[in-house]
Structure 1
Amino acid sequence: MSKKLFTSLTLALWLFMATFSSLAQPNNFVVDTNGKPVDNDDEYYIRPAITDNGGRFTLINRNGSCPLHVGLENTDLPQGYPVKFNYLSNNVQDEDVRVNRELIVEFVDVLTTCVQSSYEWRVGENDTNSGRRVIITGRDDSTGWYDGYFRIVETQSVGIYNIQWCPIEVCPTCEPICSNGGILRENGKILFALDGAALPVVFQKKDD
Structure 2
Amino acid sequence: MNPTLFFYTLFLVFIITIGTIATSEDVVYDVTGKKVLNNVPYYIGPVVWAKGGGIKLTDTKNKKKVCPFYPVQDPAEVNVGGQFSFTLVAKQEYLLTSHILGIDSGYSKSSCDQSTFWQIHDAEAKAPSNLMTTGGSFDSSETCFQVVDYPKPTSSKVHSYMLQHCPSFCGAGPHTCFNVSIHEEKGVRYLASSGTPFEFVFQKVK
Sort the TM-score into its range (normalised by shorter chain): 0.7 to 0.9
Q: In structure 1, what is the equivalent of residue 86 of structure 2?
A: 85
CA contact (8 A) 2:180 2:192 kept: yes
Runs of 4+ in 1 over 6 A off after TM superposition: 20-26, 126-129
Partner SS state of residue 50, structure 1 = coil
Aligned to 2:73: 72
Kindly state the Cα deviation for residue 167 of structure 1 after the two structures are TM-superposed: 3.7
Q: How many residues align?
A: 186
* Aligned partner of 1:30 among 25, 28, 31: 28
Question: In structure 2, what is the Cα distance between the partners aligned to 1:80 and 1:168?
Answer: 30
Task: Using the TM superposition, give the Cα deviation of residue 161 of structure 1 relative to its aligned residue in structure 2, in angstroms.
Answer: 0.4
How far does the alpha carbon of each residue in 1:11-70 deviate from its partner, in whole angstroms, 9 at most, with x for none? xxxxxx99x979987961000011111102421001011212321111122242211111
Q: Given the superposition, is the C-alpha separation of residues 168 and 139 from structure 1 closer, same or farther in structure 2, using an over 3 Å criterion?
A: closer
1:159 is aligned to 159
Contact 2:144 2:169 in 1 (8 A): no
**CA positional deviation for 1:134:** 0.8
- Are the equivalent residues in 1 in contact too, given 2:30–2:159 (CA < 8 A)? yes
Cα distance 1:86–1:73, how it changes in 2: closer, same or farther (>3 A)? same
Structure 1 pair 34–25 and aligned structure 2 pair: CA distance change class (3 A):
closer
Q: Secondary structure at the match of 1:169?
A: helix
Q: Unaligned regions of 5+ residues in structure 2, if any?
A: 1-14
Q: TM-score, normalised by structure 1?
A: 0.74
AA at the equivalent of 1:184: H
Give the structure 1 partner of residue 49 of structure 2: 51
**What SS does the aligned partner of 2:82 have?**
coil
CA distance, structure 1, for counterparts of residue 131 and residue 175 of structure 2: 15
- Unaligned regions of 5+ residues in structure 1, if any? 1-16
Structure 2 partner of 1:204: 203
CA distance in 2, matches of 1:203, 1:58: 13
Cα displacement (A) at 1:128:
8.6
Equivalent residue in structure 1 for 2:120, among 118, 123, 143: 123
**Contact between 1:127 and 1:134, CA under 8 Å: does it hold in 2?**
no
Sequence identity (%): 23
How far apart are residue 162 of structure 1 and its match? 0.6
Matched, 1:179 2:178: yes
Deviation at 1:147, TM superposition (A): 0.9
Q: CA RMSD in A?
A: 3.4
For 2:203 and 2:150, the matched residues in 1 are separated by 17
